[in-house]
Amino acid sequence: MISLKGLFKRDILNNQGTRLSKIITEKLINSEDECLVDFDGVSNVSPLFFQDFIFPIVIEFGSHALNNKLRLINLKDDHLISYRAACDQTRAYLDKLSARQTRSCCDISDLTLELLIKTRELSRRDPSAAQIIFGINSSMAKTFSNMDIELIRRIANAGVICFEPRFSSEFAARLAALDASEIDVFLNIVGDLEDFYEYGYA
């Protein structure tokens, strides 16, 4: 359980939401247990606190995380009023987030963002499949599985593709010689060999 009064040593919360969101994100990634957030002893909470705390979690894990894995306890009526006010400002928050992420090379950033998110999801669910599909080794799969959404966005916004082709000309020639029905089998076999592309077809 996370006691907000114990964590922040104060009874009024305003700009502490981002820190709390990062702490809870880490817990949700590394544990299947329900995460309790205790508001006991907190007299006032601003809508900004709830925005910075809850919205990033919803964006990263989906609204089901709030229903199934995150529980807020000892909420006062004033806390609920601030929470509802934060929810009423969802569109403004998302617009601000979108504007912050806009870059001149947004097409590349968007593509990289999608790839990184998919890699993280698969690395958490099925690391072996992630290694085959994305051409990463077991160490990278573990790294991807522990990435939070803010880190992924920072990497993507650099405007650089984070994945490179795994095929050398020799490897491509071998693929071209295969029947269509054999290609998937071949890629799955060699993709399961850690660092195969780097050393076998460099």
Look at the block and give the residue holding tokens 């820190």: 19
On whether both 33 and 8 belong to a single domain, the answer is yes
On whether both 138 and 195 belong to a single domain, the answer is yes
Residue that finishes a domain, picked among 58, 84, 100: 100
97-127 as b/e: b if 16+ CB within 10 A: eeeeeeeeeeebbeebbebbbebbebbbeeb
On whether both 112 and 96 belong to a single domain, the answer is no
State the chain's mean pLDDT as an integer: 79
Return the CATH number at 189: 1.10.4000.10
DSSP 37-95: EE-TT--EE-HHHHHHHHHHHHHHH-HHHHHHTEEEES--HHHHHHHHHHHHTHHHHHH
**pLDDT recorded at residue 80:** 92
- Residue numbers of the domain that contains 57: 2-100
Residue-wise pLDDT tens for the chain (202 aa)? 899 999 999 999 998 999 999 899 888 888 888 889 999 999 999 999 998 888 888 877 777 767 788 889 999 999 999 988 888 877 776 666 656 555 444 577 778 888 888 899 889 988 888 888 888 888 988 999 898 888 888 888 877 777 776 666 776 777 677 766 666 655 555 544 444 444 443 3
Residue that finishes a domain, picked among 100, 131, 152: 100
Look at the block and give the residue holding tokens 């299947």: 32
For 25-63, what is each residue's pLDDT tens digit?
A: 888 888 888 889 999 999 999 999 998 888 888 877 777
On whether both 6 and 96 belong to a single domain, the answer is yes
On whether both 107 and 94 belong to a single domain, the answer is no
On whether both 47 and 122 belong to a single domain, the answer is no
**pLDDT recorded at residue 108:** 77
